[in-house]
Amino acid sequence: MTTIRAVHARSLADPEAFWAEQAERIDWETRCERVLDYSRPPFARWFVGGRTNLCHNAVDRHLATRADQAALVWTSTEVDRQRSISYRELHGEVNRMAAILREFGVRKGDRVLIYMPMIPEAVFAMLACTRIGAIHSVVFGGFASISLAARLDDARPRVVISADAGSRAGKVVAYKPLLDEALARATHRPERVLLVDRGLAPVAMVPGRDEDYAGWRERVGAAAVPCEWLESNEPSYVLYTSGTTGKPKGVQRDTGGYAVALATSMELIFGAHAGDTMFTTSDIGWVVGHSYIVYGPLLAGMTTVMYEGTPVRPDGGILWRLAEQHRVNVMFSAPTAIRVLKKQDPAWLTRYDLSSLRTLFLAGEPLDEPTASWIQQGIGKPVVDNYWQTETGWPVIALQPGIERLPPKLGSPGVPVYGYDVRIVDERTGADCAAGQKGVVAIEGPLPPGCMSTVWGDDSRFVRTYWSNFPDRQRYSTFDWGVRDEDGYLFILGRTDDVINVAGHRLGTREIEESLASHPAVAEVAVVGVADALKGQVALAVCILRDAQLAGTDAAHRALEGELMRIVESQLGAVARPSRIVFVPALPKTRSGKLLRRAIQAIAEGRETGDLTTIEDPSTLDHLRQALGVAEAVPAASGAG
């Protein structure tokens, strides 16, 4: 029997042979001339000269063997509907959507922005784009007008696909007004907006721009749109993610490398095969949704369960009821969802027949030990934590049950995945850290297939941001702290930058700061992530007002806090709304004017601030403690015990 260690070693010793073998998992119209071109590091080009198509591999390829198998099973507890779509039907719907896009003049390389709730049409739209070689950019439905406008201006889509509304916890969330506001704000003007009308909210159609999906679907009929064969390195999609600047980065993905990487991961990491059913509880607006609701399971000929709803409606058993009902074999969720379930009656965990379920995978944020053991014992199934990022597109660190069942260590996502030369390095020298020594999680180039190929439209930002963080040589930085133990298991210790992770949603503190600073009362603001038992982290905003009297009374304070929260919600979306906003006369800064974010974070979490010899004005810390209503942390007695 092969081991994870052996597969990993082989993948690094001879990457070309390893990945050439994996490339057999997908169909190629033309085989590649070279497996890897790394002549221009850090830009890795995989399967050079090979021609393929993601939609062909995810849909058409399965028609010969599994046309009547369910490809997509959609369940909504928001609108109480279910729909099962076979591969044959999926093929039909994707062709129709592709035909509509063609009618709108969409050609290979054009961008299509998808701003949609969790409905099957969103999947049709993604697959229709890749079918015709258009580049999709899905924007999470929880984002609002400013986030959306920034992405519209960067991606410059020819067409936007959206819907009248989504629904969250039984509340209709109208998308169209947010989209209209974003379109008014953006400088780029898409030619058409295609709208799926679910009948949830009224829509004001703009003549000449807005088009009705149902009408067009009828009009194009049983269309057949051939797949556009793309060179392996041509882009399939752009997915925006938050970084340390206010401007989100467009993570650009290739075509052939992504298809091969996902198909390989389905078997080696997820231990899944054609005919299996996978249920991933993410959203298509995030990378987990792209890779493991849509492309991964479909490339592997599996059935994918798509869920519109929350883990606790109509009750705390819904996820397990769906797992039973659809005979789910592989489940993929996030630690936050499990922490939410911990507040529910534990009897829900054993009420349903989960005999089909082999493994529960969790990712997106740190998985704390109590949550991991609670769920593992509760459902009596192996729980596999896995660590990765929007940039990588698929897991970097994981136990890989498809290769070997390694014993888990609570608190660790596992060991490096094949293809990734993961290092823990000293941030100042770039030297490899010894076991037990904390450092930055870095990856030696070339990144394996399927990882981001560049920042959309900005190669130099790709090099500058990700590959220029260590003094000795070019290496990819994950911007996470980590440590390796003696057995080679890795532990993730939090971000090295100002990115925070709220309920598994990655947010840039700078974006939230910019939004708050747009309020005329705010002179200066700092946003930091603060530990939270449920969501992992929440955003705390510390503001200096132009006029302190604006929050002079309790009532004025509360009113202003509410107003500021609404600004963030309307500009960025509810996900980005700070959990708390406090007002102080000055922010803690160094003498050179650098904001001491970690000190703010430490105080808010009731920890010691550590060495603050460079602070300009120590009284700012007392003001902050006062505003937060926390006492000074007592230093731990050293050497006690």
| Shortest CB 475 distance to ligand AMP, Å | 15
* Residue 241 is a binding residue for ligand AMP (CB under 6 A): yes
Residue number with CB closer to ligand AMP (241 or 303): 241
Interactions with ligand AMP, residue window 403-422 (CB under 6 A) = 413
Question: For residue 428, with 0-12 CB atoms within 10 Å meaning exposed, 13-18 middle and 19 or more buried, which class applies?
Answer: exposed
Q: What is the rounded CA–CA span in Å between residue 264 and residue 258? A: 10
**Shortest distance in whole angstroms from residue 495 CB to ligand AMP:** 5
- Cis upstream peptide for 446 (omega within 30°): yes
- Interacting residue with ligand AMP among 154, 276, 385, 514 (CB under 6 A): 385
Q: Which is nearer to ligand AMP, 154 or 365 (CB)?
A: 365
Q: Which stretch binds ligand AMP (CB under 6 A): 314-322, 385-393, 427-435, 595-603?
A: 385-393
**Cis link prior to 395 (omega < 30° from 0)?**
no
Q: How far is CA 550 from CA 146, 369, 521, 584, in A?
A: 26, 44, 8, 12
| Shortest CB 367 distance to ligand AMP, Å | 6
Stretch of 49-57, 314-322, 383-391, 584-592 lying at the interface with ligand AMP (CB under 6 A): 383-391
Q: Least CB distance from residue 318 to ligand AMP, whole Å?
A: 24
> HSE of 148 in the Cβ direction (CA atoms, 13 Å)?
32
Considering the complex, what minimum distance in angstroms separates the CB of residue 363 from ligand AMP? 5
Nearer to ligand AMP, 324 or 497 (CB): 497
Residues of this chain, 483-512, that bind ligand AMP according to CB under 6 A: 492, 495, 501, 506
Please identify which residue in 52, 53, 75, 386 interacts with ligand AMP, judged by CB under 6 A.
Answer: 386
Rank residues 188 and 598 by Cβ distance to ligand AMP and give the closer one.
598
Scanning 471-508, the segments in alpha helix (DSSP H) are none
* Distance separating alpha carbons of residues 585 and 545, to the nearest angstrom: 8
Nearer to ligand AMP, 98 or 500 (CB): 500
Most distant pair of Cα atoms in the chain: their distance = 78
Cβ 560 to ligand AMP, closest distance in Å? Answer: 31
Question: In 3D, which of 47, 26, 191 has the Cα closest to residue 107?
Answer: 191
C-alpha span between 267 and 281 (Å, rounded): 20
Site residues (CB under 6 A) for ligand AMP, limited to 333-372:
363-367
Q: Work out whether 390 is an interface residue with ligand AMP (CB under 6 A).
A: yes
Site for ligand AMP in 259-318 (CB under 6 A): 287
Residue of 75, 86, 281, 478 interacting with ligand AMP (CB under 6 A): 478
Residue 438 is a binding residue for ligand AMP (CB under 6 A): no
The residue (of 126 and 287) whose beta carbon lies closer to ligand AMP is 287
User: What ranges make up the beta strands (E) of 417-535?
Assistant: 421-425, 439-444, 454-455, 476-484, 490-495, 499-502, 505-508, 522-532
Please name the residues in contact with 595: beta carbons below 8 A apart, sequence gap of 6 or more: 526, 587, 588, 589
| CA distance readout (Å), 378 to 130, 310, 361 | 40, 20, 15
Task: Pick between residue 280 and residue 478 the one whose CB is nearest to ligand AMP.
Answer: 478
CA–CA dist 154, 320 (Å, integer): 40
CA distance 625 to 632: 7
User: Which of these ranges, 17-25, 387-395, 516-524, 554-562, lies near ligand AMP under the rule CB under 6 A?
Assistant: 387-395
Distance CA 505, CA 11 (A): 31
Binding site for ligand AMP (CB under 6 A): 241, 287, 363-367, 385-387, 389-390, 413, 478, 480, 492, 495, 501, 506
